[in-house]
Amino acid sequence: MKNLTALDIISSSNGPHKFWLMKSEPHVFSIDQLKKEGSTPWEGVRNYQARNFMMNEMKVGDQVLFYHSSAEPPYETGIAGLAEIAESATPDKLQFDKKSEYYDAKATKEKPQWFCVRVQFKEKFKKTFTLAELKAEKELSEMLVIRQGMRLSIQPVTEKDFQFILKKCTK
């Protein structure tokens, strides 16, 4: 098995948009909540690699696998649905909010440190494509999310893996 890195995956995209997996803990923000709100700014990312993906790589129209992490019950952990990037990166306003847990004293309006894209609901799968099922699919063995200790909350996905999941989950 090859071991694709995130950069390999990003640069392998040749279509008009890229494909991503974005994690959210459902008790904090679930696919149902996204459906209700229609779209949401993806605030609170405080990891540089994930931020750089949003700032530099994500474009309007990019397709997103919405992943429930630390789900309850645990076997519900997995890809819960589909979303799409609706607006490219803008400064994350929580970095300026002293009352927020995401406040960052180093950030100024002139020099924001953190950015977020707007994520738009597309569809909730009838059934979550669980982590156990992802791991069991030979086809998906290169996905980052199934690698041990993979904590990155925004991950690139290959078009091939994206289409495979779409086919399985939307028929």
Partner DNA sequence: GCCAACGTTGGC
List residues binding DNA (CB under 7 A): 23, 25, 46-49, 69-71, 74, 77, 131-132, 147-153
Task: Report the distance separating Cα 136 and Cα 146, nearest Å.
Answer: 10
Pull the structure tokens for residue 103.
Answer: 């406040």
Q: Which of 18/68 has CB closer to DNA?
A: 68
Cα–Cα nearest to 95, from 51, 156, 38? 51
- Minimum distance from CB of 14 to DNA (Å)? 26
- Minimum distance from CB of 70 to DNA (Å)? 4
Q: Which of 101/110 has CB closer to DNA?
A: 101
121 DSSP β-pair partners: 83
Cα–Cα nearest to 85, from 54, 66, 67, 62? 62
- Minimum distance from CB of 15 to DNA (Å)? 26
Residue 152: partners with Cβ closer than 8 Å, 6 or more residues away = 6, 47, 49, 50, 144
Contact predicate 144/165, CB 8 Å: no
Q: Which of 61/72 has CB closer to DNA?
A: 72
- Minimum distance from CB of 122 to DNA (Å)? 21
Q: Which of 46/122 has CB closer to DNA?
A: 46
